[in-house]
Amino acid sequence: MSYVDVNTDAFVKVREALRCFQSEISGFSGVISQETSGITEACEQKVHDQERVVSELKETKRLTEEALERIKRALEQENAEKERTEQSIHSLERELSDLEDELSDLYDQRSSVSDDEEDKEAARKERASIDREISAVKSQISRTREELSREKDNLDKIKAEIRRLEAEKNKTEEQLAKIKADLQRNEDKLAKMKDLLYYIKSDARELRAKAKNLEMDSSERTSHSKSCVEECIQYLDEYLNS
């Protein structure tokens, strides 16, 4: 085998390698472009999903805050009602005490009415008058006691409602604290995702440009090298045929 034959084989081998390389790298930048677009779209979708989570949590927070305000207003009303009822009970108790004193005075008056022979009729009339007053006061005491009993029952109900509202308020406040913490965590997560998406998009743009340049540059250089090798082969062919 001559030097020329050896070189011809080497040139052919390199020409084939260059052809094979060109074929293999063809479409490289297309794949990179497609995959980077797929990556950024998938990341954007995840950011949108996270934005929806944050938006839903904000709405839940708003509704919970409104519910808490309603409970607080109801508590204020119940506490005002409790105060009013306690004052009413206090007044009724004082009234009852006064009536009982009045009744006691009337009994004293009745027992002090003289029972002399000459004033018998007058004493009877006075006792009858006192008895009517006693009866009226007793009726008033009875009505006041009934009213007091109703007000006390009402106070018990108000107190029970206040306890229920307090428990609901505490529960809602705990829920709100949890929602706020959850919202903060998800807002932080969204901010991180948005930051990373910004850099991923920037990386994707850079990668697409680099891949396109690499493919074009490699293809051009390979074409040029193939031409050079072809020239060598042609030169050797001419030399051998001369």
Partner 1 sequence: MSSVNTMTTAVLKFQSSVKKLSDNISSAGYDWNDEKHAALTGMVAEIASNAKGVMSTAEHMASRCREFDSVASQN
Residues 163-202 that bind partner 1 (CB under 8 A): 189, 192-193, 196-197, 199-200
Asked whether 156 and 79 are in contact (CB, 8 A), the reply is no
* Look-up of token digits 């070189």: 7
Q: Does 31 bind partner 1 (CB under 8 A)?
A: yes
182 phi, psi to nearest 5 deg: -65, -45
Nearer to partner 1, 106 or 229 (CB): 229
Nearest to 103 by CA among 132, 123, 143: 132
Q: Does 132 bind partner 1 (CB under 8 A)?
A: no
Nearest to 15 by CA among 188, 211, 236, 230: 230
* CA gap 124, 206 in Å, rounded: 120
One symbol per residue from 44 to 63: x for binding partner 1 (CB under 8 A), - otherwise; what is it? --x---x-------------
* CA gap 83, 81 in Å, rounded: 5
Q: Which residues contact 26 (CB under 8 A, 6 or more apart)?
A: 215, 219
Nearer to partner 1, 16 or 131 (CB): 16
Q: Does 236 bind partner 1 (CB under 8 A)?
A: no
Q: Does 211 bind partner 1 (CB under 8 A)?
A: yes
Closest separation between CB of residue 60 and partner 1, Å?
16
Binding residues for partner 1, per CB under 8 A? 6-7, 9-11, 13-14, 16-18, 20-21, 24-25, 28, 31-32, 35-36, 38-39, 42-43, 46, 50, 189, 192-193, 196-197, 199-200, 203-204, 206-207, 210-211, 213-214, 217-218, 221, 225, 228-229, 232
